[in-house]
Amino acid sequence: MSNSTDNMIADLTERDFIVFAGAGMSKVTGVRGWRELLEALNGLVALEGVDIAKIDSLHFPEIAQMIYDRLERDGRIGEYYETIQECMKPTQSSWESRHWKIIRASNSVVTTNIDGVFEEAMTDILADRPHQGSNGQERFPEINTACGLSNVSFGLPQRAKLNRYFLTMAMAAGLDCAIVDTMDCELMDAVKASEALLGKDRFCKNYIKAFRESKRP
């Protein structure tokens, strides 16, 4: 047990850990919780026999999908995203000191897909901090970034194409890692090419090796 505790203390001291900040962390800013969000969405369609106030949170994804399907069928899917965007806006304050403290306390922060308060905090902080580089990574090298790549193209046609171009842009801006479809050959080609062009592939060895093995022009 002592070794485990010592290791944990060492990780904390070296800031070698990841903070998962759930949606509740930003509720103090006026961002709505999951149940309140579902109530707002259900107000668009009024699903029969569904009382959002009483259903178990385990059924939230199922209810959200039902609402999405109804709006898509009726050609009103834009209202779905507009409602989510409106519900996720802070109504009391944009961000608080707790967000900055969490950002400074760890190397990495993971948040829910729709919680933009941490992103807003970082944007404001970057704006106020003297420029030391061309992107966030150079100005805050101690903070690592990650993303679920396909989220950027949700609901759009030609998703794979958008994912590839977005990934190369994000890598150039300092993205450290991403959740990707490794079976998408063109996407992985983009990763290898971007690493070579960004100076992350010494002598372009990985790029050359990948294309020799692929036997593709």
Q: What pLDDT score does 96 carry?
A: 66
pLDDT digits (tens, 9 = 90+) for 158-171: 888 999 999 999 89
Q: What pLDDT score does 44 carry?
A: 92
Quick one: which H or E segment has residue 4? Answer: helix 2-13
Q: What pLDDT score does 145 carry?
A: 81
In Å, how far are 3, 8, 24, 27, 43 from 33, measured between CA atoms? 39, 31, 7, 7, 16
- Please indicate whether residue 49 or residue 95 has the higher confidence score (pLDDT): 49
pLDDT band at 16 (very low <50, low <70, confident <90, very high): low
Asked whether the beta carbons of 115 and 26 are under 8 A apart, the reply is yes
pLDDT band at 115 (very low <50, low <70, confident <90, very high): low
pLDDT digits (tens, 9 = 90+) for 172-204: 888 888 999 888 889 999 999 999 998 888 888
- Please indicate whether residue 106 or residue 215 has the higher confidence score (pLDDT): 106
Domain ranges of the chain: 2-139, 146-214
Token pair of 189, please?
Answer: 């080609």
- Please indicate whether residue 199 or residue 98 has the higher confidence score (pLDDT): 199
Token pair of 13, please?
Answer: 């001291």
User: What gap in Å lies between CA 207 and CA 197, rounded to an integer?
Assistant: 10
Q: What pLDDT score does 140 carry?
A: 62
Longest Cα separation, the chain: 63
Query: Which contacts of 97-103 are long-range, i.e. CB under 8 A and separated by 24 or more positions?
Result: 98/25, 98/28, 99/25, 99/26, 100/125, 102/19, 102/21, 102/25, 103/143
- pLDDT of residue 130 exceeding 70, the answer is no
- Please indicate whether residue 16 or residue 46 has the higher confidence score (pLDDT): 46
User: Among all chains, which residue has been given the structure tokens 């679920």?
Assistant: 148
- Please indicate whether residue 196 or residue 97 has the higher confidence score (pLDDT): 196
Q: What pLDDT score does 154 carry?
A: 82
Lowest model confidence (mean pLDDT) among 64-73, 113-122, 142-151, 186-195: 113-122
List phi, psi (to 5°) of 110.
-110, 130
Q: At what angle do helices 117-128 and 97-105 cross, to 10 degrees?
A: 80
DSSP calls for 119-144: HHHHHHHHHHSPP-SSSHHHH-TT-B
- Please indicate whether residue 173 or residue 89 has the higher confidence score (pLDDT): 173
- Could you tell me whether strands 146-148 and 108-111 are parallel, antiparallel, or unpaired per DSSP bridges? unpaired
Q: Which amino acid is at 23?
A: A
